[in-house]
Structure 1
Amino acid sequence: MSLVNGIKSTWLIISSDNDLSLNLRYTGTGTTPAVSLYATALKNTTLGQQGTLSQNQSFQRLTGSNVTNAGWVSPLTVPIRLNGGMSLYDADLIIVMIVPLNNSTTGSNATTATIPASPGITS
């Protein structure tokens, strides 16, 4: 999901237990903007019926991020390394958010895992 005007993701590939790649395409005009990509993968660890949410639901989680500086050539494939206690192949849901890059001091392709934990979600 992109929150940046003119940027769309066209595909996502799981390339290993902890690595995925996202293809970005810029449909705007002018220089491509700097963006941050935040990825989260969830696996439902609650026993019971799949596809339903309950108040006591729990998940395993992988998280990671990457940045792309302004001026990239479209289309671009961006790798994201995720950290946590499971495999991407076991994930029930993978979400990648594309947002404007706000910190100009962050270097290109800096991979981190800094998304805070939420109740009922373990990493």
Structure 2
Amino acid sequence: MGAEILVVEDNPHSLELMAYLLTANGHHVHGAATGKQALELAGREQIDLVLLDLQLPDLDGYQVMWQLRGLTLPDRVKIVAVTAVAMVGDRERTLAAGFDHYMAKPINPRTFAQEISAWLPAGCH
């Protein structure tokens, strides 16, 4: 059974690529271009995984992550920072702030779905 994945990405090309790769692997994608859209979707959909850009037009990814944690998302739902912010120490700072995992952009289309599957709850592969 595929997973319900929330992809929060303001770049339409990146969102389209991630959605295509995830859908091709049997997952259902909920796309959001802003933090506000992400919070609305997470509040009404049953989400299994969140892929969250850190630089959004309305809220930064950290604010969105903290608000998502405040919603009724089950503990099993992982929130992954997917970002072009990839300087030395960024991974550690992102994880220390509360993200479950970190993925640097640009994503590798050949390995993306496999990397994501490691973060899905049991039964969602």
Question: What TM-score do you get using the length of structure 2 for normalisation?
Answer: 0.23
- Give 1 or 2 for the bigger CA radius of gyration: 1
Choose between structure 1 and 2: higher strand proportion: 1
Choose between structure 1 and 2: higher helix proportion: 2
**Greater relative contact order, per chain length (Cα 8 Å cut-off, separation 6+):** 1
Question: What TM-score do you get using the length of structure 1 for normalisation?
Answer: 0.23
